[in-house]
Amino acid sequence: MSQHIRGRGFRARVSIVAFMIGLGAFFVMRRAYEVQVADHEKYKTLADEQSLRKLRIAPLRGSIVDRNGTELAVSVPVDSIYADPRYFQREGGDPKMAARRLAQILSVSEEILERRLASEKRFVWLERRVLPEQAKRVKELGLPGVSSVEEMRRYYPNRTLAAHILGYANIDGVGIEGLELTFEDQLRGMVRQVPAMRDARGRIVYSDLFVEGAGQAGLDLELTIDKTIQDIAETELALGVQTFEAKSGSVVVLDPQTGEILAMANVPTFNPNAPSSSVAARRNRAITDRFEPGSTVKTFTIAAALEQGTIDPEQLFDCENGQMRVGEDDVIRDTQPHSLLTPGRILAYSSNIGTAKIGATLGREGLYRAFRRFGFGSVTGVPLPGETPGRLTHFGKWYELDAVTISFGQGFATNTLQLAMAMGAIANGGRLMEPMLVRSLRDELGQVVEEYLPRVRRRVVSEETAALVSEMLTAVTGPRGTAEEAAVEGFLVAGKTGTAQKADERGLGYAKNRWVASFVGFVPADEPRLVIAVVVDEPVVAYYGGVVAGPIFRRIAEGALRHLGVLSSDAGSGLERLARAKRQEKDTTKATRTEAQVEEGEPPVVGENEAVVPSLRGLSARAAMRRLAEAGLTVRFDGFGLVESQAPSAGAVVRKSSVVHVKLGRESKPARAGGGA
């Protein structure tokens, strides 16, 4: 009996164990069913969240090239270092120790690295855009969850060249300034969110399937800029600003026939590869800074009067020997006294009084509308951010003095590009063009997606008027003109100087010692290829437009014409030789007379508009320039070093603004004490 009972108990226990095993197997199979079948999508999503993350992968940003295909802005692959802090910690990583080792390689502080590695996030950047050697050294550390991924970095191979035109893109490849900002949508391409998997070491990897849909590359920008001319403009502007100790400067070079901008330069400048410079250095002054243009706009006053028929080309205007009263209290003056002058001579001698009388023939409304037609008071439409429209008050708000001074460039404001475009209308026969900075947008295969063509905004004067004014402007760079220093040997140059006082910052009229010197012109005058506008803000050594901006114009024109292969004309060469011969003859005659007086012990006789040439021997170029500027004279240097000789000689009496030719030599000895500048 007892044996039978024990047998039943054993079977019961076996049954219970079997039941429990069966029940356990049932729950396991049910759970497996739930995970693999019933709740498959739920758990797949959970697993994906742990092993996948969506990364924003920017496509290849379009390049920016000049008119000849030279690269100005490109995107290059670089490594960026990232970490999965949770994986790093789960694998036993020590944030403090790892941060110490990483800080020796990266340019991020140990404290920041430790904080990032100790976070609860699944993804953090440790440092982006590192050098290949840095990425290699990080990999060699073998830290779990720490690795690198390839990104694209914006790179400007020519450093500061065309910086204000290009602007720059930030670390995420987003345009911040310049064309990079204006054409952000076209350059950027299509950005997509790309899934990335982690491998067993926590490193992010992409499958081929993922990479195939990473995004559509951006379009390339082909500019109107010529890299060589841009480089010439920047170099010569920087030299001029440094030489005359100016605050800043800007230059625009364009093709008057098409409106294409060949160069746009500013000083100071910046490097878009490291755009942490001051806001002032990043400002595109050629379009953002407005200034009173001074005598450069006499060109447009006279052109408008000729076009409207209110004056005749041979008509004489009484310039009242340099002073004219306006109203009860105001007087306008010329730098030199003149009596009767034609419009052409008024331009050549830059007479304020003569221009004011010509402007008066148009009336206030006529003068205002003429300036508006030339583009003053409105933006040019150049595809760059921040352009100022300038300032041209409606004629209904002009005071009596405004109606006079606006005709010769005081009381309203423009920018360098506006000034260049207006002069372009004279150079091309009377058509105001839209400025062109972009020629085309191209895809990654080089196919043109969008093309930009020259556009005429409006006709401002007839071809006949434009030709007549162009001829008048050639006298400005000829003998007795205000810009002999802008003359380019072998070419006819048409242009106009500007010397404008700056407004007092306290609103008390004009500042006594703050000036803007400018020159705008075109060359060759008979078949214009280039319009060049030069503006120099607050020069110290000298301030006349012909003295300061004229030489910058000449050097840019010489280099650009040589680059373009433009040959000198016989007419230009002959005119230049004749002008130079007359200047030398006049200087030699007066110098001989003066030297004879000095030898005889007589003091030189100096007229109101004459100057005595100072002794320059042994001085540096800058000291010589300063001394001549103080005497009201200009200079043309030959060579390098210290002054060896000069012509005319020291003591000669010459007309103010005359050119003194100075030969420099490296072997020259400095002047003795008391003879320096």
Catalytic residues: 295
**What size, in residues, is the chain?**
677
Distance from C-alpha of 308 to C-alpha of 544, rounded to nearest angstrom = 31
SS3 386: coil
In 3D space, the residue among 209, 184, 172, 191 whose CA is nearest the CA of residue 52 turns out to be 209
DSSP code for 541: S
Distance from C-alpha of 543 to C-alpha of 502, rounded to nearest angstrom = 12
For residues 403 and 189, is the Cβ–Cβ distance under 8 A?
no
For residues 521 and 536, is the Cβ–Cβ distance under 8 A?
no
Phi, psi (deg, nearest 5) at residue 83: -145, 155
User: Quick one: tokens of 77?
Assistant: 């692959």
Instruction: Tell me the residue ranges of DSSP E strands in 347-447.
Output: 431-433, 438-442
Distance from C-alpha of 277 to C-alpha of 479, rounded to nearest angstrom = 44
> How far, CA to CA in Å, does 449 sit from each of 66, 70, 75, 344?
17, 19, 20, 48
Place of tokens 């994906």: 48
At residue 169's C-alpha, the angle toward residues 168 and 175, to 5°, is 95
Give Cβ neighbours of residue 539 (< 8 Å, ≥ 6 apart).
Answer: 244, 245, 246, 515, 517, 548
For residues 556 and 233, is the Cβ–Cβ distance under 8 A?
yes
Place of tokens 């100072």: 614
Place of tokens 């951006």: 218
Phi, psi (deg, nearest 5) at residue 556: -65, -45
For residues 522 and 561, is the Cβ–Cβ distance under 8 A?
no
Q: What is the CA radius of gyration of the chain?
A: 37
DSSP code for 391: B
Instruction: Tell me the residue ranges of DSSP E strands in 168-299.
Output: 168-169, 175-177, 190-198, 204-205, 215-216, 220-223, 248-255, 260-267
